[in-house]
A and B are shown apart, each in its own frame.
Chain A
């Protein structure tokens, strides 16, 4: 009975969404049809042309210098430059939720015991892969302004490497004190960079470093620095949460 009522409710909701999305019925559509978006005149076009603060010529990869935000990846230029304050809030949300995980799964803890002890090959193969994964994660956030990726995926890849060690070795544990120091340092440095922008440029998280040539590794001002900090912070936060899930409380 309950399932039937839920199904009915879902059907009504689905019909409502479909009708309001695809059948205007005299009014205007809430969203344009799929693929029919026109970016001209929208702020998105200004983000693509890097002309938010004023009109700008065409940006050319590898040639244009000192463009606004200076990042070849436009999504990154939005996330860590135009809307960097938003990202600071996002990082804070992640901090608060991992804090909640730490409180719920806190106390004196030990590793969960496995029914089958992992063998030599598994342990050492996982350690070999761990190094490769960490290097890939660092590559991911160091090139966040040039290629797809950035601090959040890079940090998640590093946390995945830690998870691999947790799964393959039943005695491995990260040093939680070190994780907390890395997390706190990275988070405070982000805010300090923002305050440095406030002191030099007049507003919080101002991109005060030279922007360089679009497409070069050393370009885009503070974006690579901030993304590296975000990567470290996200990686250490998720690693701390993983530690909470892979351990159990010790009865005192």
Chain B
């Protein structure tokens, strides 16, 4: 179920990237796309009945059934890189606004 949901999020993100003209909305669409992808990668590592891959005083041996920790570690990387991309994209959008006076890509004219 959550896998269908992640694919729907992914498609919404691509649709936003294709149709929007406003730079901030483009960044938002990029983030939705990225979240969909991250949820999908995590869902691939789900083991039915598995618990979070952390040893605690309750779940105290490695012999229990855990979900796959590898996709989670990779998604951690992906989230951080997403933050970097978002920051850079927003800075570019701000700079474009300062130069052209608009956030709309169609209204920008060369100077």
Q: Which residues of A contact B (CB under 8 A)?
A: 2-3, 6-7, 9-10, 13-14, 17-18, 21, 31-32, 34-39, 42-44, 47-50, 58-62, 72-75, 78-79, 83, 86-87, 90, 93-94, 96-98, 100-101, 104-105, 146-148, 150, 152, 156, 214-215, 234, 238, 241, 244-245, 249
Contact flag A245-B94 (CB < 8 Å), given A35-B48, A58-B63, A94-B84: yes
B69 contacts chain A at the CB level, 8 A cutoff:
yes
Residues of B participating in the A interface, judged by any CB pair closer than 8 Å: 1-3, 7-8, 10-11, 14-15, 18-19, 43-48, 52-57, 59-63, 66, 68-70, 72-73, 76-77, 79-81, 83-85, 87-88, 90-92, 94-95, 98
Which 9 A-B pairs have CB atoms at the shortest separation, nearest pair first? Answer: A97-B84, A61-B60, A35-B48, A78-B73, A59-B62, A74-B53, A6-B18, A72-B55, A104-B91
User: A86 touching B77 by the CB < 8 A rule?
Assistant: yes
Shortest B87–chain A CB gap in Å is 5
> Is B70 within 8 A of A60, CB to CB?
no
Which of B15, B47, B53, B80 has the most CB atoms of chain A within a 10 A radius of its CB?
B80
Q: Which of B44, B59, B68 has the most CB of A within 10 A?
A: B68
Q: Which residue of A lies closest to B57 (CB)?
A: A61
Is A152 within 8 A of B79, CB to CB?
Answer: yes
Contact B56 A61 (CB under 8 A): yes
Not counting A47-B70, A94-B81, a sample of 9 additional A-B residue pairs whose C-beta atoms are within 8 angstroms of each other reads: A7-B15, A34-B46, A58-B63, A73-B55, A78-B70, A83-B73, A94-B83, A94-B84, A104-B94
* A–B complex contacts, Cβ < 8 Å, 17 sampled: A10-B11, A10-B18, A13-B14, A17-B7, A18-B7, A31-B44, A32-B44, A35-B46, A47-B70, A78-B69, A97-B88, A101-B87, A101-B91, A152-B80, A215-B56, A238-B83, A245-B94
- Complex contacts, B8 vs chain A, CB 8 Å: 14
Q: Which residues of A contact B81 (CB under 8 A)?
A: 90, 93-94
Complexed CA–CA distance, A90 and B52 (Å): 24
Q: Is the CB of B3 within 8 A of A148?
A: no
Chain B positions within 8 Å of A75 at CB level: 53-54, 69, 72-73, 76
B69 touches A44 (CB 8 A): yes
- Complex Cα distance A43/B68, Å? 10
